[in-house]
A and B are shown apart, each in its own frame.
Chain A
Amino acid sequence: MKSPIQARYYILGLFLIASLLLTLLGQYLYLKGDKIQQEVQQQAHEQASNELKKSLAHIFELVNSEAAALANWDEIHLQFAQPSYYYYWHSQRLQTSDFFKPYYLELELYDKNRQKFSSTSERYLDLPEKLTLQPANIKKYIQVQPPRKEILIVSQPVFQRANPAEIDGYIAIAIDFFKLLETEAGFNYLDFEKLFFNRSGIIEPQDLFSALEFQIIPMPVNERLWDLIAKSIFEFFFASLIILVLVLVVAGWIFIWPIHKLSSHLKRLTTTNTTINSAPNYLVTEFTGLHNQLTDYHNELLSSKAKMAEKNQQLWNLLRQDSLTGLANIRALEEFWQIISEEVQEHPFDISYLIFDCDQFSFYNKNYSHQIGDQIIIETAGILQKVFNSTSIYRVGIDRFVVILTNTSLAQVEQLANRSLQQIASHPFEKLGILEKVSFSIGISHMPAKETKNHLEVLAKQAQIAVFKAKQQISNRLNFYQAPDENNSINKSQLTVILDSIYHKDNIKLYFQPIFDLNKNHVFYKSSIKIQAEDNLVDYLDIYPIIKQHHLEEKFDSVFLEKLLEKLQTTSLDNIKAVSIKLSTKTLLQPYLIDLFEPFLGYLKQINIIIELKESIITQHPDLFTFNLNKLRRQGFLIAIEQFAEESTNLMSLPKLPVDFIKLDQKILQLAEDNPINQKFIANFLKMLLATPVKIVVTQVETQYQLDQIFDLLDQEEINKLLVQGSLFGKPEPDLVIENRTRSGCREPS
């Protein structure tokens, strides 16, 4: 749709069109009047022409009669009878007689031989000495001699009275043609003063009309009338123009100006955020009403807008505020992070990214109710607000907080982090009825100002990695992400390589770490993946946070399974008892989980394939896992629970679980070092587990000392049921290396 046009341009257009029409009308009237005048002039010209023709006919008739009368005049006959006294008659009598008309210039008598009587006139010599013409009767012609000597020559024979057949002589008259016309012809249309001959010389009567040029009498009335009409047309035009302008001005004043005023008012309303109480002043009631309606609408709109702004603010707050703790949520963090990212481009500054993750939070939720879990989060939030002075604290997960510190040195960050850990450790959570000690793991990444401009985007990932590692640590819950070892650090380019590798299944390397059956010397292998990123071989612990952040768990797991399948196809499986694989929770929850393992069915006769999963997944989705895991187990797959008893272990449900292996982290056993009660508890706990059909695997056995701790807690029979995993027995290797290791290969417990 075309852009609308302002009302004043319509008015202007209307004015131009009306002016154009008015001009055309005026021009039409003027041309019409001019045409009428021309027709009148033409008609007058025709009348003048007719008048001239009639006048010429009249004067010819007149001069004919006059010539005839002269020819019959007694005194003419006397002159022919006695011409002796012609001179006296001519000079003294002729011009005094009534026969000699005022327009006669000369009258002469000619004898029968056409010879003029003795020359009598000195003044006029227009008549020839001898008539050269031989007229049968009256003869006329016009003699035109410029500049203005137009003479009508008329000759008339005079017949004898005694013998009418005989010619006595002739009369010739020289007549002032124009005087004759002036005297005898009246002109109403022809302008006698402008009547003239267009040629000179002798002009015959039949050519006389064509030889005359004439003009019509100036018709003052007609011209005056036309002047008046023309003046009236112009007056009409200008009056109409003025009226039009006035109408447009009035219309503009009544309609356009109010519209403009309303438009200004509306513009003012759109740019004003305050309530307006203006008293409109319009000539038209409707405009006043419209003005008031707009004002009212504006005021109501402002009111609604204010309410909506308030609601929006509330909504904004809700959207950016964690309802439980009152802290900012992950959305607020994202927006704040965006701001930070833009600011560092202009003014780089130190930034620290701290992730607080509650240890074993699901345990509290499950064993003390969600209300208690929520209360733990609320009180922890309060602690963090106090420590970090209520700034830049975000709740980004159920049990996870992020604190952003700017322009804070690493030492200060560490100090604040330790203080917060101390505050949490000393906080009386027991008031909530919690018997366990509530602890948080903190992952910290710090980036000096000079690096923020180009590497800020990795800060959050680094913190995630840091917290992930912190949670792996036994004692220190605080972990700084540092990249002193450049081989393990993940920079941006490496991140890209990792992601590309997952998508394109390149640079992915399978690693296998052995698990020993201390009794049968059977070797199991735990498979894991490393990715060759540039010059670094990135470990799974560093890869996993990236995968999780990019929601690539399923993709990664499918690649993992594919690579494992390839390995099984290309490797001799003799003497290999089993291979375990740990899949992400997301993949394990997929309904096609069964299908993923279908390619492995053919290998189950040669090797056991163990699927590792977290205990919490089974407890949170018992029905689904019960179904899927039972089906997998019926097909021949084995199920292992890793990190057992680290979160919310429910011993009552353990017998119901479709589990073949339980993997215990060696750090649990370290609890036995604290006091004899713990030692007894841990020993009995292990014994209890070993009493079940489930195979027990102790992981993270890195040192002989740790192995000895296990041996110290158990008797020989129990030890024989145990399986161990750790660098003490073998680090992850790229190939399935079959090594026969025995308990004797290890240092005997002291």
Chain B
Amino acid sequence: MNKNLFQKLLLFSLCLFSLNSFAKTIEIKISEGSPIAKARYSEGNENQPALLFLHGYLATHQFPLIQNLQDYFNFEGYTTLAPTLSLQVPARDNSLNCNSLHLHTLAQDLAEIEGWVNWLKEKGHQEIVLIGHSAGSIQLLELAATRSGSEIKKIILTSLLFLDPDEFNINKLDIEKARQKIIQNDFSPDTYSFIFCIDNYLATPESFLSYLPLTQQRVLDNLANIKIPTFVIMGSKDDRLGQPVEDWIKQLNQTSGKIFVIENANHFFSGEHEYILQHRLQKIIETKD
């Protein structure tokens, strides 16, 4: 880590509070019938791309890693937007718990992300870089892979993962139970195991099943098919995956995306790895294609 980096980090830390005063909360209604969505928005230099940071599963834009990244890049002069997926909760402020009632679906999430991208676009940002973390990375990848439009210039996926039933605490019996309920037109919530929620994920079957297509293969396929420059940053010590991170990195390396591995970093890039991540992100963002 060079001296210049540390000087910047120090200066960034000192200016964090002042930066907060520049950030503001944006609430929008993506569509009629959808709940209000909230985001933290900070306007930066117009000649720099707008950065959209998407939090991980059930989290909010206040998730520390996301907030720190946003603040850092605000300091760097970037326009940043960190939305909180409403997950059907109007103006959701807090992370949802596993046992919270989950009514949201992947489609609703993607629509909401699309809404925020469009909001940035409406704000005049023609270059948008999408930066996701964890499940947010999957959702951004899914959106970018299927979305048309040119304003998204780069996609940076940190701690990218996938939702394979065999790999990620997803019980096939739960999937079958949910599917049977739908067949039976029973939309009542039930408890499932999902990602890091073990047997306490209270969700409607529709909600539960909506995220299951985001399998490893689907992720790899999206990475393979995506037209937008895509960067993947993984921590070498990420243990939140359904398989060893090395295996996943190997598979990622076989895609068209550029894969970066931060040594010894965990799923959340805790500690000094967060700065390394910031530096890596900045390099990626500032790198011209």
Contacts and interface: CB of A to CB of B under 8 A. Distances in A.
A368 interface: no
Interface in B88-131: 88-94, 96-97, 99-101, 103
A97 B204 contact: no
Contacts of A96: 99
B99 A85 contact: no
A74 B100 CA distance: 10
Interface in A40-98: 72-75, 77-82, 85, 88-89, 92-93, 96-97
B90 A161 contact: yes
Given A88-B188, A92-B202, A161-B36, A78 B101 contact: yes
B29 to A, nearest CB: 7
A9 B6 CA distance: 107
Nearest to A82: B103
A339 interface: no
Interface string A494-529: 000000000000000000000000000000000000
Chain B, interface size: which category? Answer: 20 to 34
B89 A85 contact: no
Given A85-B189, A88-B202, A92-B202, A74 B89 contact: yes
Given A78-B100, A85-B103, A97-B97, 16 more contacts: A77-B89, A77-B90, A78-B89, A78-B90, A78-B103, A80-B90, A85-B101, A85-B204, A88-B101, A92-B202, A96-B99, A161-B90, A161-B91, A162-B27, A162-B90, A162-B91
Contacts of B90: 77-78, 80-81, 160-162
A74 B92 contact: yes
A97 B27 CA distance: 26
A161 B191 CA distance: 28
A69 to B, nearest CB: 11
Nearest to B91: A161
Contacts of A72: 93
A511 B174 CA distance: 183
Contacts of B188: 85, 88
B35 interface: yes
Interface in A99-127: none
Nearest to B191: A92
B94 A89 contact: no
A193 to B, nearest CB: 36
Tell me whether chain A's interface is mostly helix, strand or loop, or mixed: helix
Interface string A406-417: 000000000000
A81 B37 CA distance: 13
A266 to B, nearest CB: 109
B35 A97 contact: no
A162 B36 contact: yes
A162 B202 contact: no
Contact of B101 (A75, A80, A161): A75
Contact of A82 (B27, B88, B92, B202): B88
Contacts of B96: 74-75
B24 to A, nearest CB: 16
A162 B92 CA distance: 11
Nearest to B101: A89
A161 B25 CA distance: 13
A283 to B, nearest CB: 95
B13 to A, nearest CB: 30
A74 B188 CA distance: 20
A74 B93 contact: yes
A88 B204 CA distance: 10
B29 A162 contact: yes
16 contacts: A73-B94, A74-B96, A74-B100, A80-B90, A81-B35, A85-B101, A85-B103, A85-B188, A88-B188, A88-B189, A92-B99, A92-B101, A93-B99, A93-B100, A97-B99, A160-B90
Contacts of B94: 73-74
Nearest to A76: B89
A74 B96 CA distance: 8
B89 A75 contact: yes
**Of A73, A80, A81, A89, which is in contact with the most chain B CB atoms at under 10 Å from its CB?**
A81
Contacts of A81: 35, 88-90
A162 B37 CA distance: 9
A93 B189 CA distance: 10
Q: What 9 pairs across the A-B complex have the smallest Cβ distances?
A: A161-B91, A88-B189, A89-B101, A74-B89, A78-B89, A161-B90, A162-B36, A77-B90, A74-B92
B100 to A, nearest CB: 5
Contacts of B35: 81
Interface in B218-238: none
Interface string B195-209: 000000010100000
A97 B202 CA distance: 12
